[in-house]
Chain A
């Protein structure tokens, strides 16, 4: 349900705030045109924004107007957003920030940064629907902790993004409202369930965005949209205010157009929260110290790093273009001084059914709260049971209903041992196999998905075909480990090719190492500026 947008104000003196054509000392490409001929990828949009704002080169209000202009231009084609606030509210925030900067006050590390938020994260000043009709129009009474922390550090929430209903799906076709398009090819899916958040960053409608990852819902869309997606360790970021799908698997994740941006956002939202009993007390290291310019790298900056390529992820059923891109990434790692070896995780293929058993079961329990009694949309009936039944059937989409039913089955009396318990045992095996592999390797790598983005409608009616695409990602959720996806190559398709993401998996609470390595990998990748054609055209015009 997108609000009717006001026409953007006339843009008199509009500086073009594009990640690859801005200033000065922070970014690497100074005045390069934003096409694939740019010699090196952007350093950090957040850091260059900060530099521009503090040095008064641009104002937060100008930056906002420029982004909103592009956002509104592209949005009818992309449909990334379910809700966009009144631009006047956003401008008021930007103006207030400009005044504080002018007065010499300290501003937070995300000051003026435009953040889009997945609609299953509660925001008290905007509707939060979870992509579902059952919460249509619902305004939560509180902000999710991740949102609250980003706002406290100066971020401006530019809107709520589209998703598969309650996080269940891999394409956004499961949204009750609209299907988001992939900025690289509007006839293809952006991935899911955080498809809107990935598309918004990819199309430069915002700078960074928040998503959630339960079985790959940040990493797969990051791969499909050619952006960086970061899934933290389970417990690294508070889940308070994230509409629960599978409580033992859910995490809040970050999207950015560079590793540095995803890392800076993670740093802002991570850390213990007393409202989430599963959130960790472990300190959050200062990731920012690693996001230095490539010119300061040594010649073999990753010398000695042991990289393990998961053999089961580059075999049967994976697109040859994807395998090729991953092999190229492996070569790149070797150029940087790493030793790359193949690692086998024999339990790998069991993770997918185990994941779906656990996720369906937990979701059947978590979604029982949507009964229309205390919040959400109610279909009135004379009897309570009928009220429940009607409200829920009216409010939930088909995929959600099916998963609830499957979960109900798996948890039925007498069936717990056969399904849920066995899935938990498989989880133990997978955790142990990762632990073993990570004792002999510093990071593990794999594709993030078996293919590039596919066409809208292609997998819609075949649940198992859609589930199959999660094979690269679910095991990481079962083990609770952190993973970073960054674009590493392209395959044929669309007008300018389709991006492929490399997944890097680290040890528990090893985000610092992942970000350090990812940043170096990204900054040394030649001839790669992952900007989709729809954005490049906008710049040219």
Chain B
């Protein structure tokens, strides 16, 4: 494949310049256990965390909100992993983001169609896939419960 080539000839570097300043670029990461690479360093957030008002994730409650019935085993298994990832998310708290506009997505054009209803051509097939259908209702078990 050829030898490692000299990368920079005549050393011209270009730096990305953008508005706002960072409180240093967080050299974030964590140890990758198997090969000890320091690609990303993990920072655990203790009480020095600027965002102490955020409660740690309560997996059982989250599961209820997300309508997923977890077994106690699953709650036990997931909780530390989720905690670890949420902690890792926390590093964004340290970044100075004042006066930076949030982006919903990449630039896209305004492509709204006319506000005119039309029947989707595969409607019948979609209705056909419903497990419990009594025209025109989709039948479900009782909604209200005592708790």
* Cβ-defined contact, A419 with B92, below 8 A: yes
- Give the distance in Å from the alpha carbon of A317 to the alpha carbon of B37 in the complex: 5
User: Which residues in A have their C-beta under 8 angstroms from that of B30?
Assistant: 464-465, 468
* Cβ-defined contact, B102 with A392, below 8 A: no
User: Which residues in B have their C-beta under 8 angstroms from that of A436?
Assistant: 16-18
Chain A 304-344 interface mask (CB, 8 Å, partner B; 1/0): 00001100000011100000110110111010000111111
Nearest CB of B to A337, in Å: 13
- Give the distance in Å from the alpha carbon of A340 to the alpha carbon of B40 in the complex: 27
User: Which residues in B have their C-beta under 8 angstroms from that of A328?
Assistant: 1-5
- Give the distance in Å from the alpha carbon of A437 to the alpha carbon of B3 in the complex: 27
Residue A422 lies at the interface, judged by CB distance under 8 Å to chain B: yes
* Cβ-defined contact, A357 with B2, below 8 A: no
- Give the distance in Å from the alpha carbon of A241 to the alpha carbon of B88 in the complex: 33
- Give the distance in Å from the alpha carbon of A408 to the alpha carbon of B85 in the complex: 13
Nearest CB of A to B74, in Å: 7
* Cβ-defined contact, B66 with A346, below 8 A: no
* Cβ-defined contact, B29 with A317, below 8 A: yes
* Cβ-defined contact, A384 with B122, below 8 A: no
Residue B65 lies at the interface, judged by CB distance under 8 Å to chain A: yes
* Cβ-defined contact, B39 with A381, below 8 A: no
Residue A2 lies at the interface, judged by CB distance under 8 Å to chain B: no
- Interface residues in B3-61 by Cβ distance below 8 A to A read 3-9, 12-20, 22, 25-30, 32-34, 37-40, 42, 51, 54, 57, 59
Chain B 79-104 interface mask (CB, 8 Å, partner A; 1/0): 00110111011011101010011111
CB contact between B97 and one of A340, A343, A425 (< 8 Å): that residue: A425
- Give the distance in Å from the alpha carbon of A383 to the alpha carbon of B69 in the complex: 13
* Cβ-defined contact, B130 with A374, below 8 A: yes
- Give the distance in Å from the alpha carbon of A357 to the alpha carbon of B17 in the complex: 25
User: Which residues in B have their C-beta under 8 angstroms from that of A354?
Assistant: 92
- Give the distance in Å from the alpha carbon of A249 to the alpha carbon of B84 in the complex: 24
* Cβ-defined contact, A332 with B2, below 8 A: yes
* Cβ-defined contact, B86 with A384, below 8 A: no
- Give the distance in Å from the alpha carbon of A142 to the alpha carbon of B20 in the complex: 47
Nearest CB of B to A317, in Å: 3
Stretch from A4-12, A84-92, A294-302, A427-435 contacting the other chain: A427-435
Residue B131 lies at the interface, judged by CB distance under 8 Å to chain A: yes
* Cβ-defined contact, A274 with B40, below 8 A: no
CB contact between B25 and one of A346, A386, A528 (< 8 Å): that residue: A346
Find the B residue at minimum CB distance from A455: B34
Residue A190 lies at the interface, judged by CB distance under 8 Å to chain B: no
- Give the distance in Å from the alpha carbon of A254 to the alpha carbon of B114 in the complex: 32
* Cβ-defined contact, A141 with B129, below 8 A: yes
Which of B66, B91, B102 counts the most A-chain CB atoms under 10 A from its CB?
B66
Interface size on B, residues (CB 8 A): 87
Find the B residue at minimum CB distance from A323: B4
* Cβ-defined contact, B13 with A344, below 8 A: yes
Find the A residue at minimum CB distance from B78: A402
* Cβ-defined contact, A343 with B62, below 8 A: no
Which of A385, A436, A450, A481 counts the most B-chain CB atoms under 10 A from its CB?
A385
Knowing A428-B101, A468-B29 are in contact, say whether A281-B1 is a contact too (CB < 8 A). Answer: no
Nearest CB of B to A320, in Å: 10
CB contact between B39 and one of A316, A340, A488 (< 8 Å): that residue: A316
- Give the distance in Å from the alpha carbon of A390 to the alpha carbon of B105 in the complex: 33
* Cβ-defined contact, A425 with B129, below 8 A: no
Residue A287 lies at the interface, judged by CB distance under 8 Å to chain B: no
* Cβ-defined contact, A327 with B4, below 8 A: yes
* Cβ-defined contact, B54 with A418, below 8 A: yes
CB contact between B92 and one of A308, A423, A459, A467 (< 8 Å): that residue: A423
A-B contact pairs, 13 of them (CB 8 A): A141-B125, A142-B122, A317-B37, A349-B27, A356-B85, A373-B138, A383-B141, A385-B145, A405-B68, A408-B65, A426-B95, A464-B40, A528-B1
* Residues of A that sit less than 8 Å from B by CB: 138-139, 141-142, 233-235, 247-249, 272, 274, 277-281, 308-309, 316-318, 324-325, 327-328, 330-332, 334, 339-347, 349-350, 352-354, 356-357, 364, 368, 371-375, 378, 380-390, 392-393, 396, 398, 401-402, 404-406, 408-410, 412, 415, 418-419, 421-429, 431-434, 436-437, 440-441, 450, 458-459, 462-465, 467-468, 471, 479-481, 488-490, 508, 527-528
> Told that A374-B138, A393-B68, A471-B39 touch, could you supply 15 new A-B pairs with CB distance under 8 A?
A234-B108, A341-B12, A343-B15, A347-B25, A368-B66, A401-B70, A405-B62, A406-B82, A409-B62, A412-B62, A424-B104, A425-B101, A431-B103, A459-B34, A462-B32
